């Protein structure tokens, strides 16, 4: 691991100045390009910037993009942007949003751009047809074949389930503890106007009665599938302070790519990514006021809490059962409902909620006195990780 110069502070160098979120969920009136264009327009309006202020464009294409390698070029033409100094299509799965913010800061530092739009959009859902089954939860790709497939081990759900099952065997993590994650996040979502699952609380009985996807995951252990778009505008802290909305400071960031089998190690890249980000920001986990964790499954929340050091290995189940991650808890987690109950915009879901909390825009779900937010991103099967530490105003150092 490369050392990070602790004499360098990012707090007065880079900031997120704009946030754009389209309607999320079962929205069928546009395609992935339409969602991306709208998200950029909303982020520019949020920041109070004209379109020609953008001189950098980073695009994370969702699964529905037909030319994912050329996503940035396609979106540039759709937006009518010219003379960009930075234009890239990036994909590290759910870790991409954090990586895009890191790339944007690096580009600004090197003078490649001054104002970078980081964009994600997707439109995998289709309007329902008579007699057609609803889409399954979870991303549908297969990394296993042969005898594995013959015995039912295929697709992303099964691969995460294998890690979760071993965690349960080694540490005694229980089904009820997974349920607590789902129930707690549904309660947060009920105060989020962007959330898809706001209509009623999720009871423990409903959780256990819901259909199995693959044991130990019930339906409510798995993230939503959403149509929509999201964009953040990254610029210099100096420029951001004169724009329309309160800037969100980029305090630190890191990545972690363990390259090991998570079934064997029961670990993720969060440890490495978090340590680098904390050292860069000159903070510790004790300084984090809210954590917005990538939650493709309830189990991902538990293992991320452990690897960031919010609790000891094997103790995340008890940690969430204590109420620590709920409203009024010592570490509110996924305060918008996360991908389990809010919407699924890959890594943009936790990033957007962190910005909302740091700007004090959370309304009924706003956490008091938020100064530091941790944002995690996770790609593949716990294979790649990004971490952002974001701040509001005068943060603790």
Q: Write out the catalytic residue numbers.
A: 294, 344
Give me the numbers of helices (H) and strands (E) for the chain, helices first please: 14, 11
H or E stretch at 253: strand 248-256
Pairwise CA distance, residues 291 & 277, whole Å: 14
Pairwise CA distance, residues 274 & 307, whole Å: 8
* Orientation of helix 298-308 relative to helix 155-171, angle to 10°: 50
Beta bridge partner(s), residue 18: 233
Report yes or no: 346 and 269 within 8 Å, Cβ to Cβ. Answer: no
Pairwise CA distance, residues 95 & 174, whole Å: 27
- Supply angle C-alpha 47, 346, 349, rounded to 5: 50
Pairwise CA distance, residues 204 & 179, whole Å: 7
Report yes or no: 18 and 246 within 8 Å, Cβ to Cβ. Answer: no
Contacts of residue 215, defined as CB under 8 A and 6 or more positions apart, other chains included, come to: 161, 165
Cis bond leading into 201, ω under 30°? no
What is the DSSP code (8-state) at residue 397? -
Residue 110: name the closest of 236, 18, 251 by CA.
236
CA 70 remoteness from chain centre: 23
Torsion angle of C-alpha atoms 210, 155, 91, 387, degrees rounded to 10: 50
DSSP for 87-118, written as a single string? EEE--BTBTHHHHHHHHHHHHHHTTS-SEEEE
Residues for the chain: how many in total? 397
Q: How far is CA 106 from CA 75, 175, 389, in A?
A: 22, 42, 16
């Amino acid at each position: 691991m490369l050392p990070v110069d602790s004499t360098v502070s990012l707090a007065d160098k880079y900031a997120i100045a704009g946030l754009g979120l389209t309607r999320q969920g079962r929205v069928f009136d546009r395609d992935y390009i339409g969602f991306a264009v709208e998200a950029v327009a909303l982020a520019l309006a949020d920041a109070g910037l004209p379109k020609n202020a953008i001189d950098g464009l980073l695009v994370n294409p969702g699964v529905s993009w037909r030319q994912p390698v050329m996503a940035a070029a396609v979106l540039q033409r759709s937006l009518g942007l010219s003379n960009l100094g930075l234009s890239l299509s990036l994909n590290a799965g759910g870790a991409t949003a954090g990586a895009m913010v890191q790339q944007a800061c690096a580009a600004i530092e090197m003078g490649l751009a001054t104002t970078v739009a980081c964009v994600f959009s997707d439109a995998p859902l289709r309007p329902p047809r008579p007699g057609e089954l609803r889409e399954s939860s979870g991303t549908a790709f297969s990394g296993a074949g042969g005898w594995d497939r013959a015995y039912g081990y295929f697709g992303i759900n099964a691969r995460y389930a294998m890690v979760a099952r071993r965690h349960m065997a080694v540490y005694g993590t229980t089904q009820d503890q997974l349920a607590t994650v789902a129930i707690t996040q549904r309660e947060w979502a009920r105060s989020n106007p962007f959330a898809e699952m706001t209509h009623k609380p999720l009871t423990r009985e409903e959780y256990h009665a819901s259909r199995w996807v693959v044991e130990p995951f019930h339906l409510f252990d798995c993230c939503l599938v959403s149509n929509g778009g999201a964009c953040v505008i990254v610029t210099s802290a100096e420029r951001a302070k004169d724009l329309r909305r309160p800037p969100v400071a980029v305090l630190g960031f890191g990545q972690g790519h363990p390259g090991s089998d998570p079934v064997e190690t029961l670990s993720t890249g969060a440890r490495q990514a978090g340590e680098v980000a904390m050292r860069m920001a000159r903070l510790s986990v004790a300084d984090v006021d809210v954590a917005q964790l990538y939650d493709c499954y309830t189990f991902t929340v538990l293992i991320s809490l452990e690897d960031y050091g919010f609790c000891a290995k094997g103790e995340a189940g008890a940690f969430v059962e204590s109420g620590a991650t709920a409203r009024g808890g010592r570490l509110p987690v996924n305060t918008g409902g996360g991908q389990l109950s809010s919407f699924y915009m890959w890594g943009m879901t936790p990033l957007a909620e962190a910005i909302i909390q740091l700007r004090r825009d959370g309304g009924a779900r706003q956490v008091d006195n938020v100064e530091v937010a941790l944002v995690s991103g996770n790609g593949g099967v716990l294979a790649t990780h990004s971490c952002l530490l974001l701040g509001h105003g005068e943060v603790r150092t």
